Amino acid sequence: MAGFDFLGSLPAIVPEVGLTILAIVILFLDVYLPTERRRNIAWVTVLGLLLLAATPLVWAPPADPASQLVWGGMVRHDTLAQIFRVMILLGAALTALMSIDTKAHGRQGEFYLILVVATLGACLVSAAADLVMVFLGLETLSIPLYILAAFRRDDLRSAESGMKYFLFGAFASALMLFGLSILYGFSGQTSIYALAEVLPAASGEAVLPVLAALTLVVVGFGFKIGAAPFHFWTPDMYEGAPTPVTAFVSVASKAASFALLVRFLIAVFPQSLVVGGHEIQAFWVSLAALMAVISMTLGNVLALSQRNIKRLLAYSSIAQAGYALIGVAAIQSQTEQGVASVGFYLFMYTFTNLLAFAVVVFFSEATGSETIADLAGLNRRSPWLALMMTIALLSLGGIPPTAGFFGKFFLFNAAVQADLTWLAIVGVLNAIVALYYYLIVIKVMYVDRSADEDQPIALSRASGWALALPGLVVLLLGTVAAQPVFEWAVQGALALFQA
């Protein structure tokens, strides 16, 4: 191993170090602050996370690919990690912001503590370059989320949500881990960048064990990103968990797992990898395409009949995972286009979904209801909430001038360029189905009348920020910011191919 350069390696983990410090600060504040001033803990969390979201930009990755692998090859400090860290940290900050005024856990320090630790795990996952780090990062992300899902002591559904999430999550981790152990067995090495070189020789040209390991790992990731047919936990967990937690799981956990998925597939099973005369890449591309088709179709069809808005967004998120998997499948030839479209899609999806869930949080805090029918007349009760929900739903549906339009455009474009036109067509058809149920919610908010119309919903200042910030980003990404962010994502994608 080359000489260990401590100061040179430190910039790669600035967000993680910062998050650890933030967690300790929150712990102390929770002990020392009197109950009536506990609200400050939330503000400290929000400001700390926003500040940390800037650190990946300040300590930019080194231009030389050879010096990007740091800390004994545990993390890779490249542009892809940078993009995903920024989106995860911003997502966590917005989650904390929308939690401030919730009655159940807005003033509980440990809620923010666990949120920060989960964010730490997500940041590690997006940069992981070693099998040990992959596993450790995913568990640092998942274990706090199990706790958060079961966080509401007063709500039976929360306990059930936590239990289901935990059982499925632990099972998925074990499956993936077995795959990782087989991969370790091929080479005796744990670095994912060293694996691809030794894999053909080490596996003795036997293709079956390689495919078994690949399948186990992809199944594990399928659980984490909530893609069908591994989506069973998603609707129950989304409905039962406290809504800010649902928002966080739907964006940060998904984004980090997608970052790892593309990094892992490209590093360990690159295009050049041929074992026993079989191209391994063709196998995982068809696996991703298959999962994309099932996720999109199943998610959208089941979403049609939902009455609970959180459940609707859960099925919609399964479908969204399916769209993003189109980009993963498109890696087969137009390599950097595929990864870049996944990166951009998740970037815009983070803010869009947080916006939608923020509206659900404030609506259910004010009214205690989560059903779509109760959204009737929302426009007259709170025009801001209705407008923000409309922007979020249009973006999820892919309508300009919102970010979702460019997100889908880049994905389908990458698919067409990779000779997967049929996949793009399935995606477009699904987007039309999805638009139907998104528009129904908009119709309920603006057209339907209800008996409660004369009771306006008041928004606090924190709530206003939690709506305005993601709303603004969604509109910017749909107009002027789309080009620069996509180019940034292309940079991130290119970084993956420079071994």
Partner 1 sequence: MIPLWMYLLVAALLFCIGIYGVLARRNAVAILMSVELMLNAVNINLVAFWRYLAPQDMSGQAFAAFVFVIAAAEAAVGLAILLFVYRTKRSVIVEDVNLLRW
- Which residue ranges make up the site for partner 1 (CB under 8 A)? 131-132, 135-136, 139, 143, 146-147, 150, 153, 156-157, 159-164, 166-167, 170-171, 173-175, 177-178, 180-182, 184-185, 187-190, 235-236, 239-240, 302, 305-306, 311
**Given the complex with partner 1, which of 51 and 167 has the nearer CB atom?**
167
Smallest distance, partner 1 to C-beta of residue 345, A: 27
Smallest distance, partner 1 to C-beta of residue 196, A: 17
CA atoms of 124 and 112, how far apart (whole Å): 18
**Given the complex with partner 1, which of 132 and 476 has the nearer CB atom?**
132
Q: HSE on the CB side for 498, CA within 13 Å? A: 19
Smallest distance, partner 1 to C-beta of residue 208, A: 13
Q: What is the DSSP letter of 452?
A: T
354 and 254 Cβ atoms separated by less than 8 Å: no
**Given the complex with partner 1, which of 219 and 274 has the nearer CB atom?**
219
Q: What is the dihedral of CA 294, 441, 96, 366, to 10 degrees?
A: -140
Smallest distance, partner 1 to C-beta of residue 138, A: 9
DSSP 189-225: --BHHHHHHHHHHHTTT-HHHHHHHHHHHHHHHHHHH
**Given the complex with partner 1, which of 264 and 344 has the nearer CB atom?**
264
Residues 6+ apart with CB under 8 A from 367: 374, 452, 457
CA atoms of 172 and 176, how far apart (whole Å): 6
**Given the complex with partner 1, which of 158 and 352 has the nearer CB atom?**
158
Smallest distance, partner 1 to C-beta of residue 163, A: 5
Structure tokens given for 43: 């503000």
Structure tokens given for 161: 């949500």
Structure tokens given for 252: 């940060």
Smallest distance, partner 1 to C-beta of residue 237, A: 8
**Given the complex with partner 1, which of 277 and 368 has the nearer CB atom?**
368
CA atoms of 391 and 346, how far apart (whole Å): 17
**Given the complex with partner 1, which of 302 and 442 has the nearer CB atom?**
302
Smallest distance, partner 1 to C-beta of residue 469, A: 31
Backbone angles phi, psi at 278, to 5 degrees: -105, 135
122 and 253 Cβ atoms separated by less than 8 Å: yes
**Given the complex with partner 1, which of 218 and 391 has the nearer CB atom?**
218
Smallest distance, partner 1 to C-beta of residue 195, A: 12
Smallest distance, partner 1 to C-beta of residue 156, A: 6
Structure tokens given for 180: 């990782």
CA atoms of 256 and 263, how far apart (whole Å): 11
Give the other-Cβ count within 10 Å of 118's Cβ: 29
**Given the complex with partner 1, which of 189 and 491 has the nearer CB atom?**
189
CA atoms of 173 and 150, how far apart (whole Å): 19
Q: HSE on the CB side for 291, CA within 13 Å? A: 30
CA atoms of 164 and 223, how far apart (whole Å): 12
